[in-house]
Structure 1
Amino acid sequence: MADEKHASLNGAYYGPPIPPQQGHHWRDRRRGGLRTTLFNLIVAIIVVLGITTLVLWLVFRPSKMKVYVRSATLTEFDLITNNTLHYNLTLDVVIRNPNKRIGIYYDRLEAKAYYEGERFAYSPLPAFYQGHKNTTNLRPVFVGDVPIRLENSDVVDFNREKGEGFFSIDVEIYARIRFKIGSVKTKRFKPDFECELKVPLTTNGSSSAVGFIGTKCDVDF
């Protein structure tokens, strides 16, 4: 009886074949193939966009806009009690688009005025679209009173400039722009227009002997 049981346990199996368990391996290969295809597709799109951008850049060759402060009127600029700055400054700013085939959307513009590195005034400016080879005039106005932090050396410089009849004032215009090439609009850029000015003080209708000299501003992308 023991021999019969032993023979039955070690005998050959003649039933239907048992398929190998390969389901997990097949799903893993399928997922890996999908990931590879998706990666290749993303790379192809990036390459096409890069080549298109390069071709458009080479064809149209966009140039930076040109920015000038044509005139500046400073009727009040004085330190009163508690280092409070009393000011009234108006600028005439010219922005020129030198491109023949590229328009510019100015989605946001704001001007800020600084003295001795301290911001003392802010002026929002209107958004606009600028066509090819076009010039736009802006008129930021800064009026008010504001406490300003000045070191003793800064106060000395202030009094010296007041005696000379002009003040060194920096104005920065912060922009958010998009270029338009045909019907295509680019991503948004954030250039700054930095203007270092020497502005004569005008009081009672008279100004210093040396008037304001038109100033070109640096365009920094």
Structure 2
Amino acid sequence: MYSGQYPPPPNYVMLQHQYGAPPPPYYAPQPYPQRRSRGNCCIRFICCIYCLLFLLIFFMAASLVLTYTFYKPKIPIYKLEDFSVTNFNMQPDMIINAEFLVTIRAQNPNRKIGFIYGKGSTVIVTFEGSTLCSGNLPAFHQGHENVTMLKIPLAGKATFGPDLNKALRDDNEQGRIPLMVQVNVPVTVVMDAFPMRQFDFHVSCHMTIDSLRPDKKPSILSTTYTFGFGF
């Protein structure tokens, strides 16, 4: 109970008409909007790149499968049909003059694919890694399911060392001469009538013949082929 000289103050009551408006309601602070981190944007960008790469690889694989199914490509078949010696002379000063005539059978088994054999080809005959003679393939177009016989004259002048010269003489006397015929030729694949990309085709024929004498037709005792290509 209030005691003193003065009476107690009256209870305070705020009336609406005192200030003309009620007091403002309680204001709750709003949270700040969260910013997107740069990490999420980078992850989304990387995911899009991977999706595009996946679609690109998928369409490329599908086109290759369709092309293979439609064209059914087959590798050309090459065979050394004949080997003739037109001149072979081993001089006392280790110089060898050689002239050969090589016949190569080129077969294209494809029904819808042709080949263009371009210029700049080489045909080399070697003995123990040393060149005896060389020549070139003619430039020509081979059509579908075609067989072409190529007669290639080769000529060369080589100088062998005493050991290699003796090895060649001994093999010639024994009737077993190992030679290698190497063919490098630029080839363009033609699908229907549309030339595609050119690549270099390599054929190596390891063969053994019984003679290098010009007055005797040599017999091919054995042949082994290896193939390769590059861009």
TM-score normalised per structure 1: 0.69
Please state how far the C-alpha of 1:29 moved relative to its aligned partner.
7.5
* Distance verdict in 2 for CA 1:197–1:66, change over 3 Å: farther
Amino acid at match of 1:106: Y
Match of 2:219 among 199, 212, 217: 212
**2:172 is aligned with 1:124:** no
SS in 2 for 1:144: strand
SS in 2 for 1:143: strand
| 8 Å Cα contact 1:75-1:201 kept in structure 2 | no
Amino acid at match of 2:129: G
Please state how far the C-alpha of 1:63 moved relative to its aligned partner.
2.0
Amino acid at match of 2:227: D
| 8 Å Cα contact 1:104-1:129 kept in structure 2 | yes
Residue in 2 that maps onto 1:98 = 109
Amino acid at match of 2:219: F
Please state how far the C-alpha of 1:144 moved relative to its aligned partner.
2.8
- Structure 2 CA distance for aligned equivalents of residues 149 and 39 of structure 1: 61
- Structure 1 CA distance for aligned equivalents of residues 72 and 149 of structure 2: 25
| 8 Å Cα contact 1:66-1:219 kept in structure 2 | no
Please state how far the C-alpha of 1:165 moved relative to its aligned partner.
5.9
Deviations 1:156-187, CA, capped at 9 Å, x for gaps:
43222333567432101113323333355444
Deviations 1:127-166, CA, capped at 9 Å, x for gaps:
322111111222222223122346x2x4343222333567
Please state how far the C-alpha of 1:45 moved relative to its aligned partner.
2.4
Residue in 1 that maps onto 2:153 = 141
Match of 1:178 among 168, 182, 188: 188
- Structure 1 CA distance for aligned equivalents of residues 221 and 148 of structure 2: 16
* Distance verdict in 2 for CA 1:95–1:29, change over 3 Å: same
Percentage identity across paired residues of the two chains: 16
- Structure 1 CA distance for aligned equivalents of residues 51 and 98 of structure 2: 60
SS in 2 for 1:67: strand
- Structure 1 CA distance for aligned equivalents of residues 123 and 179 of structure 2: 13
- Structure 1 CA distance for aligned equivalents of residues 114 and 195 of structure 2: 9
Amino acid at match of 1:220: F
* Distance verdict in 2 for CA 1:180–1:88, change over 3 Å: same
SS in 2 for 1:125: coil
Residue in 1 that maps onto 2:165 = 155
Question: Which structure has more helix as a fraction of its residues?
Answer: 1
- Between 1 and 2, higher relative CO (CA 8 Å, sep ≥ 6) is seen in 1
| 8 Å Cα contact 1:93-1:138 kept in structure 2 | yes
- Structure 2 CA distance for aligned equivalents of residues 199 and 217 of structure 1: 16
SS in 2 for 1:190: strand
| 8 Å Cα contact 2:132-2:156 kept in structure 1 | no
Residue in 2 that maps onto 1:58 = 69
Q: How many residues align?
A: 198
Gaps of 5+ in 2: 1-32
Residue in 2 that maps onto 1:7 = none
Amino acid at match of 2:180: D
Please state how far the C-alpha of 1:123 moved relative to its aligned partner.
1.5
SS in 1 for 2:136: strand
Deviations 1:69-95, CA, capped at 9 Å, x for gaps:
222221333332443221111111111
- Structure 2 CA distance for aligned equivalents of residues 43 and 187 of structure 1: 25
TM-score normalised per structure 2: 0.66
